[in-house]
């Protein structure tokens, strides 16, 4: 990643608050970015809480846009604006913010840490966010859930039976491994943004599939994963954030609770 | 990203060939890594062409593994081994290789280029690789295509009607934008690994949905995207690679051709 020197040089040339451009009304993928800001105590603005926020999101992802001289157009939110820079893709924004917010080890402490942390974040987002979304929209992103309920039931049953245990088991393995340095955090014995991502993913699937998750938690095979979810929730800045009005409620976003998709 | 100094320091301490661990028999997600190696003329080994290659892949993603002292376990291939480092996730491996193989501008030339290029690669992989895979496996990753043919038809129709034009249109916008510096490459007037990713994605969807792609190409709305596919194909090292035995044929991987999923 940027060497600490580069990050510092960058920071001084971009000495402005971060701007998060994301839909109002749901935590969604923007939540991963918010949790990083909140844990770090960073200054940021958020279109979810601004008047005209939706218009700002629409402008940022206008399919007719070709971007500007510095930045390619951005296809989908979340989008991060920082000074002249405008980037999207959740794991990419976290990659940019990681060294700036102190949520990854510096290159001098641990040169390849960013690649290990990025892989963990990508895997959590794949298995516990994107696939959880596909449970309620398996065959047509552009149609309503009500137009694909049967397919959603099939997909959710497979997700609960096969995919959730696979990914929870994978992260339990990560937390049981030596590279986690103790099993409290995913990597290196210190909080990184990958822990915040996993927290939010577990939080989301708990909302979407409460019965399945309660059973999986009771089975005791993923103790470290559920413990991480609890311990991140209790971190002072995260706790204050979750209790604030800045934390939006789950509704019709990535994580949706349809009782008919959960197990009995 | 790692500063050029860091990359150089790294290289000397890892002065061994790169090892790609991926399934034999399909280009798959491993192909994105191969194309980067081939374009750069890098020295690498590939389990796809080794005896016992499958066992090496199985060992690398053993669900019981907890990794080692340095590396968390890896959940799915492709996996890259480089010296002591072992990482997975296609866009993450490319991120690691980019500065080492000269497939992104150095941090000194263009400090934030890596984040723009990473976003482009992630978007191509999301829309033109992962979603293309989901067309033949929309409701159950663990079941056969034959068990979800009807759902696959619904998904593929939506993909062809809505998602393919969205993503092809997005990349046409990128290539039409000022930040592409001329429209031959996605960013900055120079080949980056994002161009190789987009090449392989377009190549794959052309194989999977030949009729739909022939129509979309004829419509003329995505000229720059199809031109990029052609021009990457003709790059001397890529051309030699594609004609070699190292390039595996599409079959039962991410990109599959089922005539009933294509348009009429």
Token pair belonging to A136: 């309620």
Closest CA to A79 of A88, A68, A91: A88
Contact at CB, B10 and A120, closer than 8 angstroms: no
Confirm or reject contact between A139 and chain B (CB < 8 A).
yes
Collect all residues of chain A within an 8 Å Cβ-Cβ radius of residue B111: 2, 6, 10
Domain ranges of chain A: 4-101, 113-261
- Minimum CA–CA partner of B2 in chain A: A1
Q: Which fold has domain B113-261?
A: Glutathione S-transferase Yfyf (Class Pi); Chain A, domain 2 (1.20.1050)
Most A CBs within 10 Å, among B92, B144, B221, to test the A interface: B92
Q: Tell me the nearest-neighbour CA distance from A5 into chain B, angstroms.
A: 9
Interface contact B236, partner A, CB < 8 A: no
Q: Tens digits of per-residue pLDDT, B172-192? A: 999 999 999 999 999 999 999
Give the three-class secondary structure for A24.
coil
The string of pLDDT tens digits covering residues A165-200 is: 999 999 999 999 999 999 999 999 999 999 999 999
CB contact A97 to B (< 8 Å): no
Question: Closest Cα partner for B143 from A184, A218, A162?
Answer: A162
Produce one character per residue of A52-73: b if its CB has 16 or more CB atoms within 10 Å, e if not: ebeebbeebbeeebbbeebbbb
Q: Is B222 on the interface with A (CB under 8 A)?
A: no
Full pLDDT tens readout for chain B, 264 residues: 444 444 444 444 688 999 999 999 999 999 999 999 999 999 999 999 999 999 999 999 999 999 999 999 999 999 999 999 999 999 999 999 999 999 999 999 999 999 999 999 999 999 999 999 999 999 999 899 999 999 999 999 999 999 999 999 999 999 999 999 999 999 999 999 999 999 999 999 999 999 999 999 999 999 999 999 999 999 999 999 999 999 999 999 999 999 999 999
- CATH 3.90.1200.10 correct for B4-100: no
Please give the ipTM for the structure prediction. 0.95
Instruction: Report the b/e string of B71-105 with b at 16+ CB within 10 A.
Output: bbbbbbbbbbbbeebbbbbbbbbbbbbbbbbbbbb
* Chain A to chain B Cβ contacts (< 8 Å): 197
Looking at the structure, give the CATH architecture of the domain made up of residues A4-101.
3-Layer(aba) Sandwich (3.40)
The SS3 of residue A52 is coil
**Token reading at A175:** 């937390």
**Subunit contact A67:B173, Cβ cutoff 8 A:** yes
| Chain A positions in Cβ-Cβ contact with residue B189 (cut-off 8 Å) | none
A192 touches B: beta carbon within 8 Å: no
The answer to whether B118 contacts A88, with C-beta atoms less than 8 Å apart, is no
The answer to whether the beta carbons of residues A208 and A254 sit under 8 Å apart is: no
């Amino acid at each position: 990643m940027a060497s600490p020197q580069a990050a510092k040089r960058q920071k001084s040339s971009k000495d402005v608050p971060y701007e998060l451009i994301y839909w109002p009304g749901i935590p969604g993928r923007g939540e991963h970015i918010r949790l990083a800001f909140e844990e770090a105590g960073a200054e940021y603005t958020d279109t979810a809480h601004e008047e005209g926020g939706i218009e700002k999101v629409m402008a940022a992802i206008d399919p007719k846009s070709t971007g500007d001289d510095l930045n390619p157009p951005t296809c989908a939110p979340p989008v991060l604006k920082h000074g002249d820079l405008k980037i999207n893709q959740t794991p990419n924004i976290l990659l940019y913010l990681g060294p700036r917010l102190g949520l990854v080890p510096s290159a001098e402490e641990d040169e390849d840490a960013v690649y290990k942390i990025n892989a963990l974040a990508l895997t959590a987002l794949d298995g516990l966010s994107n696939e959880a979304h596909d449970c309620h929209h398996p065959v047509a992103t552009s149609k309503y859930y009500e137009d694909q309920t049967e397919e959603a039931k099939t997909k959710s049953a497979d997700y609960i039976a096969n995919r959730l245990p696979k990914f929870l088991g994978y992260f339990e393995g990560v937390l049981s491994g030596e590279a986690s340095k103790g099993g409290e955090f995913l990597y290196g014995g210190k909080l990184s943004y990958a822990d915040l991502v996993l927290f939010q993913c577990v939080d989301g699937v708990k909302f979407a599939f409460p019965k399945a998750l309660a059973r999986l938690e009771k089975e005791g095979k993923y103790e470290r994963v559920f413990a991480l979810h609890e311990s991140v929730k209790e971190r002072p800045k995260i706790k204050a954030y979750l209790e604030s009005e800045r934390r939006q409620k789950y509704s019709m976003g990535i994580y949706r609770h349809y009782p008919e998709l959960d197990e009995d």
